[in-house]
Chain A
Amino acid sequence: MNQDIITSTLSGALRSGTPLLFATLGEILAERSGVLNLGLEGMMLMGAFTGFSVSYITGNLWLAVMAAILVGGLMASLHAFMSITLRVNQVVSGLALVFLGEGLSGFWGHGFVGMQAESFNNIKIPFLGDIPYVGTIVFDRDILVYIGYIAVPVIWWFLYKTTAGMNLRAVGESPDAADARGINVVLTRYIYTIIGGFFSGLAGAYISLAYTPMWVQDMTAGRGWIAVALVIFAIWDPVIALIGAYAFGGISVLQFSFQIIQVPIPVNIMNMFPYLFTIFVMLFASSNKIKKRFGAPSALGIPYSREEKT
């Protein structure tokens, strides 16, 4: 009985952590280029809505996922235009994205509430899936969870081992230096901000097509904000992001397990866990000292202008 609870908590952690992982990975790429996008929540909501509605209408899951990714990218390109080309305050532009996503998805999604659509099923990986415990927890999941597993080492390799990754980090650390070496700062920032949006769209699609396969207004329930905090928690590193995302996923499913084994903590308090933890991480990470010591991209949030004359 207890073993079952542990297994279900851990597999729940992976499932619940996967959308956090996608959004965090995307935001890591955007922030590494120097663009802070706080609009994750809005992009995820639009991704979730688009994914669900396309799946409902066409019945084609992969088309639904692609559409969600595109919509995430579209919203991010709006943020990119505002913050890179127009150089408006990135916090303000990001917040605007949140409200836009909440509003649009709520408005268009009204008719989809309570509907049923195609969703992802678990695929058991041969051999690996048969390993006791580990197999059930890790290798009997849906395909998007597996994509999460693969994305982490790929992005890590990309960031630290490839030329493009080196250019990306240079743009976020010192855009002047990158520019002087002939790297197109504006283009780089556009690309990774939009890729960040792709990941957020995917994260949203995971929520409405795999995690809880239905459409509910504001169904991301603050996960976008948790992902923003996770980026800092992860010190902009994809591997730590994986650990953080699954840990946060674990915290948010813990309440169900606690209810089953009847831990005497009120449900409302347990519901607060992930958010409390987020505040805690933000408090810890927002001190300037820590930011400077742990390699936040130096140019994060600062618009770049070549001819700025002060």
Chain B
Amino acid sequence: MNETVLELTKIVKRFPSLTANDNVDFDLKKGEVHALLGENGAGKSTLMNIVYGIYKADSGDVKINGKKVEISSPRKAIEYGIGMIQQHFSLVPSFDVTQNVALGLKDLGIIPDLSKVKKQIIEISKKYKISVDPDAKIWQISAGEQQRVEIIKLLYVKSQIMILDEPTAILTPQEAEGLFETIREMTKNGASVIFISHKLKEVLEISDRITVLRHGKVIGSVKTSETDENELAKMMVGREVVIKIEKPPSKASGEILKVDDLHVMNDKGLEAVKGVSFDVRSGEVLGIAGVEGNGQKELSEALYGMRNYRGTVTVEGIRVKPGNVMDRIKHHVAYIPQDRKADALCGGLPIYQNLFIKAFSSPSMRFNPYFFVPERLRSPSLKFIKDYSISASSVDLEAKFLSGGNMQKVVLAREIGNNSPKLIIAVHPTRGLDVGAEEFVYNVLMDQKARGAAILLIAGDLFEIFNLSDRVAVLYEGQIIGYSQPDESHLEEIGLMMAGVKK
């Protein structure tokens, strides 16, 4: 247990806009699970991408088994017995499981003997109790199953150092438990695991040691047995934070959004939402939980008119047209999309134009369509900057230069500040935000709820759903598999539903 297999000293990595790793030290001992904890953007993934040879460090040393090494590419990393499961899986969707495992193996020869590979996959899956179908095509299997394929890939080449980057993000609580079992089994067999996460609970459950990163710097390294959630949280964010927001009691009244038998196709032309019906009332938050990729994206885009659908969607009793965003804007529907850079903001336009980009066609603000006077927008946008505490040097700053939190504030100001929305569709509204911005988003949404807006919250983080919603619906394979209460006592029930088990 004392042998050090990996040692990083004084790693520095700079990107044009930020220093992702600032003199980071890290070490990994044989047979241990060492968690790398930190908020989004703390530099965890960057550090591990350096170990795996995807990024090149600007300075610093990497030692494996006490020997200094130069890891210039993933191929080198694999040679040194390092394996990594990235947040975005490194799988070829059109290949089957066996081909994915075989890809890049060195002893394949000219004509790969895939049946041999397949036999070994079956052996590994038996030994470690990981269930996979070696003949299934990747695009056909669930995210949890894809992750198991990634694990098999590591086990196949007998990786000694395994890096798991946010592995539980796409798993149901039960699947995560299964992953932890596998990790324990792997360390028992002598492998060492680096477990990257921003979730305190799971880090405390699985790791032996924890190193906390904040803004690219190591804040501290502790033994898991000698720490607790509070201490870790403090290290992570630099102050005592327990986000426990005031949830105003639900005084749901009139029905605002009614969805009836909605069918939506995904980009591949396959049905992603299969006959969903629900309603959201004024002053109510309906949380939609579910593992990502179960139709959330398609559902939200269809509701906002960015994607065609079959079925009916009514806002305040009036049927809105499929695939027509303007119709939604007229009916005071606000939309906070999951990808704010791609879908919410126009990065090359200044903040003040982004703030009013939807108002150009709104009847409430009359603009001369032939003559654009920026001055008319600059002064009202100053008010938004103040009300939403957007920190920007000027309203003329291009939106792409804003931090994630400030981008989201611009989105909120535009969607909510401009007009009082009757319905808010919020998709992963706090993803990638720091704690302060997260709190801000929560408060804005709760204010809107108190004001009487109907809110549809689609989120991956169950605690976000618990914190904000009044009812929880679970989306599984494009269908609402059941409803539950936003309460930790229902965690297991919701987890089971996320895995497709009906109540």
Interface residues of A (CB under 8 A from B): 161-164, 166-167, 169-170, 173-174, 176-184, 288-289, 292-293, 295, 298, 306-307, 309-310
Contacts and interface: CB of A to CB of B under 8 A. Distances in A.
A289 to B, nearest CB: 5
Contacts of A162: 110-112
Given A170-B92, A288-B267, 15 more contacts: A163-B112, A169-B94, A170-B95, A173-B92, A176-B90, A177-B100, A180-B90, A182-B73, A182-B75, A182-B78, A182-B104, A183-B103, A289-B269, A293-B268, A307-B55
B325 interface: no
A161 B110 CA distance: 9
Contact of B104 (A183, A288, A307): A183
Interface of B: 15, 52, 54-56, 73-75, 78, 84, 86, 88-95, 99-100, 102-104, 108-112, 267-269, 341
B24 to A, nearest CB: 17
Contacts of A289: 269
Given A173-B94, A174-B91, A178-B103, A163 B269 contact: no
Given A162-B110, A166-B103, A182 B74 contact: yes
Contacts of A178: 92, 103-104
Contacts of A173: 92-95
A205 to B, nearest CB: 29
Contacts of A176: 86, 88, 90
A1 to B, nearest CB: 50
Contacts of B55: 306-307
B112 A292 contact: no
A166 B90 contact: no
Nearest to B109: A163
B393 to A, nearest CB: 22
B74 A181 contact: yes
A156 to B, nearest CB: 14
A292 B56 CA distance: 34
A269 B281 CA distance: 64
A292 B93 CA distance: 12
Given A181-B104, A182-B74, A174 B111 contact: no
B352 to A, nearest CB: 24
10 contacts: A166-B103, A169-B95, A170-B95, A170-B104, A174-B92, A177-B100, A178-B103, A179-B54, A182-B78, A298-B94
A166 B102 contact: yes
B194 to A, nearest CB: 16
A164 B111 CA distance: 8
A180 B111 contact: no
Nearest to A161: B111
Contact of B84 (A166, A170, A180, A292): A180
A161 B54 CA distance: 29
Contacts of B91: 174, 177
A308 to B, nearest CB: 11
A184 B488 CA distance: 48
Contacts of A298: 93-94
A163 B95 contact: no
A180 B92 contact: no
Most buried by A among B78, B92, B112: B92
Contact of B15 (A161, A183, A309): A309
A292 B54 contact: no
A184 B109 CA distance: 17
B414 to A, nearest CB: 22
B265 to A, nearest CB: 9
Given A170-B103, A173-B95, A181 B90 contact: yes
A162 B99 CA distance: 11
A292 B75 CA distance: 30
Contact of A177 (B56, B78, B92, B112): B92
B215 to A, nearest CB: 16
Given A180-B54, A182-B74, A309-B15, A295 B94 contact: yes
Nearest to A179: B74
B54 A306 contact: yes
Nearest to A157: B111
A174 B109 contact: no
Given A167-B104, A182-B74, A177 B90 contact: yes
Contacts of B103: 166-167, 170, 177-178, 181, 183
Contacts of A306: 54-55
Nearest to A290: B269
